[in-house]
Structure 1
Amino acid sequence: MPVQYILGEWDFQGLSLKMAPPVFIPRPETEELVEWVLEEVAPRPRAAEPQGGPLILEVGCGSGAISLSLLSHLPQSRAIAVDKGAAAVCLTRENAQRLRLQDRIHIVPLDVTSEGSWAHLLPWGPLDLIVSNPPYVFRQDMEQLAPEIRSYEDPAALDGGEKGMDIIERILALAPRLLKDSGSIFLEVDPRHPELVGGWLQSRPDLSLQLVAVRRDFCGRPRFLHVRRSGAPDGRPVDVQPGPLPAGAPG
C-alpha cells in the first residue's frame, strides 16, 4: 500500500492534505504545475475586477490538491472543483474544510464526458483558468505501472484511452464555452502529448485555442501545457520553457 494511504495524509505545496484510497495521490510533478500557474497568474493586476482574483476550474480534483493550493496562494481567488468519483468529491470537501477554504470553493460531482452536465458550471460565470492533471496514461502503458499503483489507485484517474488523449480532448473541446476571452488552460500531460495536442488544436480552428507554451518537469521531460483562448495570433511559435532542469537532464 502506498505510504500516503498508510499515513492518511500527505504534504502538497506546504498543505497537509488527507489521503484515502482509491483517490489519486498527487505527485511532485503536479506541484510544478501549480507553481507555473502561480507564476503566470499572480503578477496580473486584477484591481478592476469585482472579485479581485481569478475564477478557477479544476477538472478531476481527486484530493483537491491543485485547487486548494491555488486558493491558498491567491487569497482573492475562487474555485470550482469537479470529479466524477464520489470518493474524490468527498475527499476534496474534507480537505477544503481542513484548510478552512470551503467558503471559496464549489465542489461538484461531474463527469466531463457527459456534455450536458457542463451546464451546471455556467451559473458561476466565465472562467479565468482551467487547470487539470487529467488521466493521461496511454492504455497500452497501464500494465507497466507499478504494482502499488495498479492495486490501490483508481484506474479511471490514470487511463487516458488509446493515446492518453480522451479527457484532454474533452477538456479542450468544452473550454471555449466556459473560458473568458484570453482565458487559459494549464494541463499536466505525458511527454508525448505536446505534439499530439498541438496537432489536434490545429485541426480544430473553430475552438479558437492555441498551444502557447510547453514546460519541462524536473527530469527535463515536456510535461505541462499552457493553452490560451484567442490569445496569440496564428503562426506564433510555441514557447518551450525549460523549467528547473537538473544537472545531466536532457535538453
Structure 2
Amino acid sequence: MPVQYILGEWDFRDLTLKMAPPVFIPRPETEELVTWVLEEEARRPHAGNAEGSPLILEVGCGSGAIALSLLSQLPQSRAVAMDKGEAAVCLAQENAQRLQLQHRIQIVLCDVTLERNWAPLLPWGPVDLLVSNPPYLSHQDMGQLAPEICSYEDPAALDGGKEGMDVIVHILALAPLLLKDSGSLFLEVDPRHPGLVGSWLQSRPGLGLHLVAVRRDFCGRPRFLHIRRSGPQRGCTVDTSPRLQLAPVPG
C-alpha cells in the first residue's frame, strides 16, 4: 500500500491533505503545475485585488489538491471542482472543510467525457482559469505501472486511452464554452502530448484556443501546457532549461 494511504494524509505544497484509496495521490509534478498557474496569475492585470480575483474550474479534482492549493494562495478567488468519482468528490469536500475553504469552492460529481453533462456546467462560466491534471497515460503505459499503483489507485484517474488523449480532447472541446475571452487553460500531460495537442488545436481553429507555452518538469520533460482562448494567436514558447526553476509563490 502506498505510504500516503497508510498515513492517511500527505503534503501538497503548503497544505496537508487527507488521502484515502482509491483516490489518486497527487505527484510532485502537479505541484509545479500549480506554481506555474500562480506565476501567470501574478502577471495578470488587476491580480491581487477583488476586481481581479479569478474564478477557477478544476476538471478531475481527485483529492482537491490543485483547486485548494490555488484557493489558499489566491485569497479572493473562488473555485468549482469536478470529478466523475464519488470517492474523489467526497474526499475533496472533506479536504476543503479541513482547510476551512469550503465556502469558496463548489465540488460536484460530473464526467467531462459525457457531453450531455456539459449544459449544466455553462452557468458556472465564464471562468478565468481552467486547470486539470487529467488521465494521460496510454494503454501501453498502463501495463507498465508499478504493482502498488495498480492495486490501490483508481485506474480511471490514470488511463487516457490509446494515446493518452481521450480525456484531454474533451477538456479542450469544453474549454471554449466556459473560459472568458483571454482566459487560460493549464494542463499536465504526457511528454509526448504537446505536439499532439498543438496539431489538434491547429486543425480546429473554430475553437479559438491557442497553445502559447510548454513548460518542462523538474526532470526536463515537456509536461505542462498553457492554452489561451481567443485573442491574437501567439507563437508557442518552450522552456528549454534542464530543470524548472521554481519562483517564490505569489501571495
- TM-score, normalising length from structure 2? 0.93
Residue 220 in structure 1 maps to residue 227 in structure 2: no
Aligned partners of 1:25, 1:48: CA distance in 2, in Å?
30
Deviation at 1:51, TM superposition (A): 5.4
Deviation at 1:44, TM superposition (A): 2.0
Aligned partners of 2:25, 2:47: CA distance in 1, in Å?
36
Deviation at 1:244, TM superposition (A): 6.7
Instruction: Look up the match of 1:179.
Output: 179
Maintained 8 Å contact 2:124/2:178 = no
Deviation at 1:49, TM superposition (A): 8.2
Deviation at 1:123, TM superposition (A): 2.2
Instruction: Look up the match of 1:191.
Output: 191
Instruction: Look up the match of 1:64.
Output: 64
Maintained 8 Å contact 2:182/2:231 = yes
Aligned partners of 1:48, 1:41: CA distance in 2, in Å?
9
Instruction: Look up the match of 1:98.
Output: 98
Deviation at 1:133, TM superposition (A): 0.2
Instruction: Look up the match of 2:35.
Output: 35
Instruction: Look up the match of 1:238.
Output: 236
Q: Percent identity?
A: 76
Answer with 105-114 or 120-129: which moved more: 120-129
After TM superposition, list the pairs within 5 Å mapping 1:90-129 onto structure 2.
90-129=90-129
Aligned partners of 2:8, 2:146: CA distance in 1, in Å?
20
Find the residue that maps to 1:107 and give its secondary structure.
strand
Aligned partners of 1:136, 1:47: CA distance in 2, in Å?
31
Structure 1 residues not aligned, in runs of 5+:
247-251
Aligned partners of 1:178, 1:152: CA distance in 2, in Å?
34
Amino acid at match of 2:237: D
Instruction: Look up the match of 2:134.
Output: 134
Once the two structures are superposed, residues 78-107 of structure 1 have per-residue CA deviations (whole angstroms, 9 ceiling, x without a partner) of 000000000000000000000000000010
Deviation at 1:175, TM superposition (A): 0.6
Maintained 8 Å contact 2:49/2:76 = no
Answer with 112-121 or 183-192: which moved more: 112-121
Aligned pair in 2 of structure 1 residues 36, 77: CA closer, same or farther (>3 Å)? same
Aligned partners of 1:171, 1:54: CA distance in 2, in Å?
19
Aligned pair in 2 of structure 1 residues 142, 83: CA closer, same or farther (>3 Å)? same
Deviation at 1:30, TM superposition (A): 0.1
Find the residue that maps to 2:23 and give its secondary structure.
coil
Answer with 122-131 or 77-86: which moved more: 122-131
- TM-score, normalising length from structure 1? 0.93
Maintained 8 Å contact 2:133/2:188 = yes
Aligned pair in 2 of structure 1 residues 5, 208: CA closer, same or farther (>3 Å)? same
Maintained 8 Å contact 1:54/1:78 = yes
Maintained 8 Å contact 1:215/1:225 = yes
Deviation at 1:230, TM superposition (A): 1.0
Structure 2 residues not aligned, in runs of 5+:
245-251
Find the residue that maps to 2:118 and give its secondary structure.
helix
Aligned partners of 2:61, 2:48: CA distance in 1, in Å?
29
Amino acid at match of 2:238: V
Find the residue that maps to 1:42 and give its secondary structure.
helix
Deviation at 1:243, TM superposition (A): 6.0
Once the two structures are superposed, residues 55-99 of structure 1 have per-residue CA deviations (whole angstroms, 9 ceiling, x without a partner) of 000000000000000000000000000000000000000000000
Residue 157 in structure 1 maps to residue 157 in structure 2: yes
Find the residue that maps to 2:143 and give its secondary structure.
helix
Maintained 8 Å contact 1:83/1:108 = yes
Instruction: Look up the match of 2:247.
Output: none
Instruction: Look up the match of 1:145.
Output: 145
Aligned pair in 2 of structure 1 residues 243, 152: CA closer, same or farther (>3 Å)? farther
* RMSD of equivalent CA atoms: 1.6
